[in-house]
Structure 1
Amino acid sequence: MFKLRKQLLIGVAALSFAAIGMTAYAQADGADGRHAPTPEQQAKFAEKMAKRQAKLHDDLKITPAQEAAWQTFIGKIKPVRPADAPQRPSKEEWAKQTAPERMDHQIEFMKRAEARLAERSAAVKEFYAVLTPVQQKVFDEHFKKMEQHRFGHRGFHHGGSDDRP
């Protein structure tokens, strides 16, 4: 009897500690853990993008004849700014929606994402056609590194060979 009471007491204490930890985590994390980027974060992102673009421009050794195609390419691949993006429903609005309405919102989001990806793909193909074979190899390497950086955090390129998708 004493062992059972002791085990129950230990179990209740462990659950209490877990609940306290989760409460503290939720309070520190904010409402849903996401927030709009601050102006400082946006400026830092823009600065990093400009540096990457300048490095790619230098690595490709863009000729004066290719400069117009480069400028067009850079203009077409700019990320969507939060002010330009459609607004998400608030947490309260989302909670009021039915499951089919939520699915419709998700489908619309995916359609917009697919359209943006198709536009970027067309811009890459258009710019790629202007490059020399040597420049195309440099661009391919740059693009491969970018994908590894972007998707590598999700386990696609951690360990193993590079021939995996």
Structure 2
Amino acid sequence: MKFAFNHTASLNSLVLAGLLATVGTGAMAQTPAAPPAGSPPVAGKPAGPHEGRMGHRDPAKMQAMIAKHQGELKAKLKLTPAQEGAWTSYTASMQPPVHGARPTPEQRAEFDKLTTPQRIDKMKELRTQRMAEMNAAMDKRGEATKTFYAALTPEQQKTFDAEHKKHGFRHGGARGHGGPAAQKG
């Protein structure tokens, strides 16, 4: 088998490769660099991957969104005065949990004194504690939802069911986790 070297084709390939490299470099140069950690967000843009949804990490926005959803649900349910107490108990139980305070400098210093295996064990302990707290809060919300649901008329229950499905599992347990497994219970 004989191979012939074609100077024109080789030159065209080199020119094409050079053009592609130049265009690629130009495109990369126009991509904005990520802002340094801790810098304020750009006006009009979310600060992180979850910032734009339900006021994530902004308690005031999150509270406003919850109040809006609860107001819409209450209007659709057309509650009677006799059901107001059940509604108040239900909405009080749906408030997001208050997150624990940040570690103090003293706690941070104690943590820094631990060896890596000790830090891993401490993190596991803290994670287990946090998961237990989250499970207890979800159980409390689930029970509050069942209690409120029992106070509704059959027609209101149908409305509640439709809204509950539309908004995921937010009204009775894990916020925003609306998959089929989460909707059991």
TM-score (norm. length: structure 2):
0.56
Residues 69 and 148 from structure 1, CA distance in 2 versus in 1: closer, same or farther, beyond 3 angstroms?
closer
Q: Aligned to 2:93, which of 63, 76, 87?
A: 76
Matches within 5 A, 1:18-29: 24-25=33-34, 27-29=35-37
Structure number having the greater helix percentage: 1
Query: For residue 43 of structure 1, what is the aligned residue in structure 2?
Result: 60
The Cα of 1:42 is off from its aligned counterpart by 2.4
DSSP-derived class of the 2:134 partner? helix
The Cα of 1:87 is off from its aligned counterpart by 2.6
Residues 146 and 131 from structure 1, CA distance in 2 versus in 1: closer, same or farther, beyond 3 angstroms?
same
Matches within 5 A, 1:127-146: 127-146=148-167
Ranges of 4+ aligned residues in structure 1 off by more than 6 Å = none
Residues 88 and 96 from structure 1, CA distance in 2 versus in 1: closer, same or farther, beyond 3 angstroms?
farther
Counterpart code for 1:80? P
Pair member with larger Rg: 2
State yes or no: 1:123 paired with 2:137. no
CA RMSD between the two structures: 3.6
Q: Aligned to 2:121, which of 100, 107, 118?
A: 100
Residues 12-67 of structure 1 show CA distances to partners (whole Å, capped at 9, x for unaligned) of: xx9xx8xxx9xx53x53439x98xx99x9322222221111111001111011111
Question: 5+ unaligned residues in a row in structure 2: which ranges?
Answer: 1-20, 40-46, 171-175
Query: For residue 16 of structure 2, what is the aligned residue in structure 1?
Result: none
Q: How many residues in Structure 1 have an aligned counterpart in Structure 2?
A: 128
Query: For residue 100 of structure 2, what is the aligned residue in structure 1?
Result: 86
Residues 65 and 99 from structure 1, CA distance in 2 versus in 1: closer, same or farther, beyond 3 angstroms?
same
The Cα of 1:90 is off from its aligned counterpart by 7.0
Question: 5+ unaligned residues in a row in structure 1: which ranges?
Answer: 1-9, 157-163
